[in-house]
Structure 1
Amino acid sequence: MGAGIPKVNIAVQDRVLLHLLENDNQADRYLVDYALTRPGVAEACALHPPNVSRTMRDLLKREFVSEHTRNIRGEERRQKTWQLTEEGRTQASKSKKSMGQIKVVLRDDNGELIEIIASEASQRLATDISLLQILMHAQHEGVLTYGDIRFGKIKQSSNEDISPPGRLKALTGAHATYNTTPPKTRPVHGRKQEMKDLDSWFSGRKPCAVIHGIAGIGKSTLVAHWLKENLDSLPNLSVCWYPCQPWDRALGIATSLLHRFGIDESHDPYNLIETLPLQPAGKIDVDTWRRRLTAYLTDADTIRERFKNESGGPPPYWLIILDDVHHIEDEAHELLGALLQISTKTPLRVVMISRTKPTIYDRRDVHTRELVGEFSLQGLTKSEIEFWLKDIDSKGEYELEQVHEKTGGHPLALELFELYGQETHVDWLQFLDDEIILKLPKSERDLLSELAIQKVPIKWHILAEKVGWQGNPPKDLIQHGLLLELGDGMWLHEALKERLLRDIK
């Protein structure tokens, strides 16, 4: 779960008591629902069935529940069920009151993350989801999203004769998780070759592009700028810009993508919604989701019918941009792999923006079959920096070589230089800490620390011997401009050197 998202953790007995309280209207009935059986309780409380039996034994000893064998609606055989005792109802009501004050995070219909108490979440989500469901989704997924298909239809308040814009369809709230246009970005300096590379990728019809590079190097800015430049010539292109967050899960991404493809409760000819688990902690059936979505996207008549009333008709392509995909690669590994497979057979193009090279595909295979275009984004060149300096340094006070050495062509460092006139501003050093140094493996950090104390470049074999490094220089550090291979030996980014020396001293 991402940093800053409150961690929800509900005790097992509290879950079971709350579930039985929510179904207390069935107490003493001859015929009851599946929800009161062992598998029903396990499903609602995100438990394994053996844990339900163990918990019920403890609650029976405390006389909070009573056990019965009853007929189950829709079932042929009688099954063991449970209900609350009077003492259990009192205890469950107390637990419900305290659990209702637990803070949860949800993304509202405007796309804003808000933190509220759990008892108010149902109203803010405009749905009839229960307190237990809210807490279970918060515990297992971190963030609840307005319009999530699993929460049911969006409620229309009694004083609304006509639904206001944005609440016309049950899944409209899924728009809160993604954008249909590129985000606003800072001005782009240089990057002409990279823009040409992206144009070449798009015109070459490759299904997927991966743009990777260190934090703040301008990956998202480049893609957003490229997309803005091309939207005028591709007015009917359907864009889904999904900013991946540390708390995102494969299920949430799959739900948002289905919404973008036009799937909702009134239009689901291939039963794609059935592949999404409706209970918290459930796993998406990725293989079935892939097969059915492929069939749907290649059914021209169905797509035409779905978008016949849309301006411009059905889109020629869907362009899915997954920004900061490194946040969800481990969690959504199978889903991302399925998405790549779908893009090879359907009118779908995928762009992944990441700080690392994705591991969801065999690199040699996708390059041989020309399925993926990989673009490693590095710092600006000296000529690009020189052009930038002409805008901010009309008097020519700064030396190009010095600025390039201090910033390594990193756009963020150059922007801070433009603002404050310092090549290694304190905000840049803090950024190095938060986004680079603290995330490096210890072996690579030790390597750079040893190089930082050197007065002149040092040959690789000498440096490797000093730190006990086995093998060749780390390719990622070289590729991203943190470790430099000069004619005289190995050297490192000047700002990185200054930051590391502060720890050593």
Structure 2
Amino acid sequence: MTGDIPKVNVAVKDRILLHLLEEDEQADRYVVTAALTRPGIAEACAQHPPNVSRAMRTLLRKRMVSEHSRSIRGDDRKQKTWQLTDDGREEAKNRLSELSKLKVLIRDESNTLLEVEACEAPGRLQADLSVLQILLHAQHEGVLTFGDIRFGLVKKKSEDTDLPPPGRLKLLAGAHATYHTSPPKTRTVHGRVDAISGLDDWFESGSPCMVIHGIAGIGKSTLVANWLGSHMHEVPHLSVCWYPCQPWDKAVGLAVSLLHRFGVDDKHDPYQLMETLPLTPGAEFDVDSWRRRLLAYLTDAQAIRERFVGESGGPPPYWLIVLDDVHHVTTEARDLLGALLDISKKAPLRLVFISRTTLDVYDRRDVHTRDIVQELPLHGLSIDEITDWVETMDGASADPEDVHKMTGGHPLALELLEIYGQTTHGDWLKFLDEEIINHMPPEEHELLATLAVAESPVKWSKLSAAVNWEGNPPERLLTYGLLLELEEGMWLHEALRERFQREVGTASKKRKASLK
């Protein structure tokens, strides 16, 4: 998905031209603002000052800009400034016209992902942003979200175009569109008694964090959503934030949404949490300062009471943050996730991470000795669970053992069996390719592809030698049911085997030879 995001890359020269065009009203003035100085231009263009100096030398040679020494408002000394020449002004307008047509991604007020031209984005976001600011945010953040604090006050649309649009609303308006305050409606959970019991035990234990991990489509989000839905009836004033992570999400966007859920806004920010957020494109996010201030806020009972006074149920007993598909942001928001985990040890905050992979944002000792993190691996349904499900299907006559052998108990395959009556429906096979096989590490892919050419289970010693694998069988593949350890040896379910057997030719011949 990340590769599908429109790529925005604005050259340094273009950034400077667009910025100086925005400040063109200050041309020839004796006293100007810092926006025309090297530091001001560097900040507006998300560049280091030396890069600005190099670009300016090029623009000066081309007579696009002129250099002046002017008084700076608020400063006692004169500084070097730049402004556009007539040729530069014409070139800047041409570049603005072309760059305005670049496509950017935005999330509007209803959380709909839209691809629009850069010149249309300010109106859709109801924000007072220039084309340059839109492009720089798109380049550094990927997706622009309605109500992002860095975009300033949201401007309320007016139906009467004769009246100027009044300034309105508050910072963080629209951040609610990025998360949910209750779990999403999902399909019915079949089986999973042990997994539900594990979640119940975690909930009762008070442990700060639970990590549910498993392959795509195995039912992680469905399980948590159904479990959480029942618990919200038992604890009606539980404050939930269900945040569906996307491939384009950044640490700042996640931090903004969490602050909104914690009740921080322009009217209530006693610990100046908003000041920790980068307000300009490319600026660094001070995660440590954000962590310290948020911890102080969440542990300040008086501040929390003031924020939620008058609301139904009063202050929440604690916040439960569910980050769904958190594997999308583990690289981009690693420090933020670590900060959240640290806060959860000392504040009324609990975390549920739903991921396709195990996470490395915490220490293994947090799992095994400190009781800070609990992990719940989710794999395919058992034969007994498949039997119970098949018995409820109308007109289905599939043998549960055959279904388990063919699909490994993957819930999506069972759902398609229920709908279409086919044990290995084409949609599920396509899902296997796109969501599981294509995302495997090369060494795991080769191991399973080699096993797939065998006619019967293969002893681990023989299989590992064939693919030059050192050590024990891969725990991840065993846990997720992609690799089966039988008495006769290692094996894999038939549908997965069939997908790997499509890889014919020289590679297949080499794999067969390696097993002899």
Q: Into which bin does the TM-score normalised by the smaller protein fall?
A: over 0.9
Structure 1 position 245 matched with structure 2 position 246: yes
- Report if aligned partners of 1:201, 1:373 keep a CA contact under 8 Å in 2: yes
Deviations 1:397-448 (A, max 9, x none): 3212101111111101111122222222221111111111111122211111
Tell me the SS of whatever aligns to 2:120.
helix
Match of 1:358 in 2: 359
Residue type of the partner of 1:436? I
Match of 1:64 in 2: 64
Residue type of the partner of 2:244? P
Deviations 1:10-66 (A, max 9, x none): 121111100000011111112211211111111111111111001001110111100
Deviations 1:348-369 (A, max 9, x none): 1110000111100111234311
Q: Give me the whole-angstrom Cα distance separating, in 1, the residues matched to 2:93 and 2:398.
A: 70
- Report if aligned partners of 2:68, 2:81 keep a CA contact under 8 Å in 1: yes
- Report if aligned partners of 1:243, 1:324 keep a CA contact under 8 Å in 2: yes
Tell me the SS of whatever aligns to 2:81.
strand
Tell me the SS of whatever aligns to 2:76.
coil
Tell me the SS of whatever aligns to 2:174.
helix
- Report if aligned partners of 1:211, 1:354 keep a CA contact under 8 Å in 2: yes
Structure 2 gap segments, 5+ residues each: 162-167, 506-516
Q: Give me the whole-angstrom Cα distance separating, in 1, the residues matched to 2:331 and 2:272.
A: 27
Q: Give me the whole-angstrom Cα distance separating, in 1, the residues matched to 2:65 and 2:292.
A: 45
Match of 2:513 in 1: none
Q: How does 1:170-249 map to 2 (within 5 A)?
A: 170-249=171-250
State the 1:157 CA deviation: 3.6
State the 1:168 CA deviation: 4.6
Residue type of the partner of 2:264? I
Q: Give me the whole-angstrom Cα distance separating, in 1, the residues matched to 2:394 and 2:462.
A: 41
Match of 1:112 in 2: 112
Match of 1:502 in 2: 502
State the 1:504 CA deviation: 2.7
Tell me the SS of whatever aligns to 1:59.
helix
Structure 1 position 264 matched with structure 2 position 262: no
Match of 1:151 in 2: 151
Tell me the SS of whatever aligns to 1:176.
helix
Deviations 1:211-236 (A, max 9, x none): 00001100011111111111111111
- Report if aligned partners of 2:322, 2:352 keep a CA contact under 8 Å in 1: yes
Tell me the SS of whatever aligns to 1:228.
helix
Judged with a 3 Å threshold, the aligned counterparts in structure 2 of structure 1 residues 87 and 108 are, in CA distance, closer, same or farther, namely same
State the 1:169 CA deviation: 3.3
Match of 2:393 in 1: 392
Residue type of the partner of 1:440? M
Match of 1:48 in 2: 48
Match of 2:34 in 1: 34
Q: Give me the whole-angstrom Cα distance separating, in 1, the residues matched to 2:484 and 2:400.
A: 18
Could you tell which deviates more after superposition, 413-422 or 206-215?
413-422
Residue type of the partner of 1:258? L
Match of 1:329 in 2: 330
- Report if aligned partners of 1:2, 1:245 keep a CA contact under 8 Å in 2: no
- TM-score when normalising by structure 1: 0.96
Q: Give me the whole-angstrom Cα distance separating, in 2, the residues matched to 1:405 and 1:482.
A: 12
Match of 1:431 in 2: 431
Provide the identity percentage.
62
Q: Give me the whole-angstrom Cα distance separating, in 2, the residues matched to 1:170 and 1:43.
A: 22
Tell me the SS of whatever aligns to 2:457.
coil
Residue type of the partner of 2:434? D
- Report if aligned partners of 2:458, 2:489 keep a CA contact under 8 Å in 1: yes
Could you tell which deviates more after superposition, 150-159 or 93-102?
150-159
Q: How does 1:403-442 map to 2 (within 5 A)?
A: 403-442=403-442
Tell me the SS of whatever aligns to 1:209.
strand
Match of 1:164 in 2: none
State the 1:393 CA deviation: 5.3
Q: How does 1:278-357 map to 2 (within 5 A)?
A: 278-357=279-358
- Report if aligned partners of 1:412, 1:428 keep a CA contact under 8 Å in 2: yes
- Report if aligned partners of 1:251, 1:283 keep a CA contact under 8 Å in 2: no
- TM-score when normalising by structure 2: 0.94
- Report if aligned partners of 1:142, 1:247 keep a CA contact under 8 Å in 2: yes
Q: Give me the whole-angstrom Cα distance separating, in 2, the residues matched to 1:350 and 1:359.
A: 15
Could you tell which deviates more after superposition, 135-144 or 465-474?
465-474
- Report if aligned partners of 1:190, 1:384 keep a CA contact under 8 Å in 2: yes
Deviations 1:451-500 (A, max 9, x none): 11111111111111122222211111111101111001111122110111
Q: Give me the whole-angstrom Cα distance separating, in 1, the residues matched to 2:377 and 2:363.
A: 17
Tell me the SS of whatever aligns to 2:354.
strand
Q: Give me the whole-angstrom Cα distance separating, in 1, the residues matched to 2:131 and 2:400.
A: 61
- Report if aligned partners of 2:366, 2:373 keep a CA contact under 8 Å in 1: no
- Report if aligned partners of 1:236, 1:312 keep a CA contact under 8 Å in 2: yes
Match of 1:471 in 2: 471
Could you tell which deviates more after superposition, 204-213 or 190-199?
190-199
State the 1:187 CA deviation: 1.4
Tell me the SS of whatever aligns to 1:3.
helix
Structure 1 position 77 matched with structure 2 position 77: yes
Structure 1 gap segments, 5+ residues each: 162-166
- Report if aligned partners of 1:478, 1:484 keep a CA contact under 8 Å in 2: yes
Residue type of the partner of 2:339? A
Aligned-pair Cα RMSD in Å: 1.7
Residue type of the partner of 1:111? N
Residue type of the partner of 2:260? H
State the 1:200 CA deviation: 1.0
Tell me the SS of whatever aligns to 2:341.
helix
Residue type of the partner of 2:229? K
Residue type of the partner of 1:344? K
Q: Give me the whole-angstrom Cα distance separating, in 2, the residues matched to 1:12 and 1:26.
A: 21
- Report if aligned partners of 2:320, 2:351 keep a CA contact under 8 Å in 1: yes
State the 1:199 CA deviation: 1.2
Residue type of the partner of 1:192? V
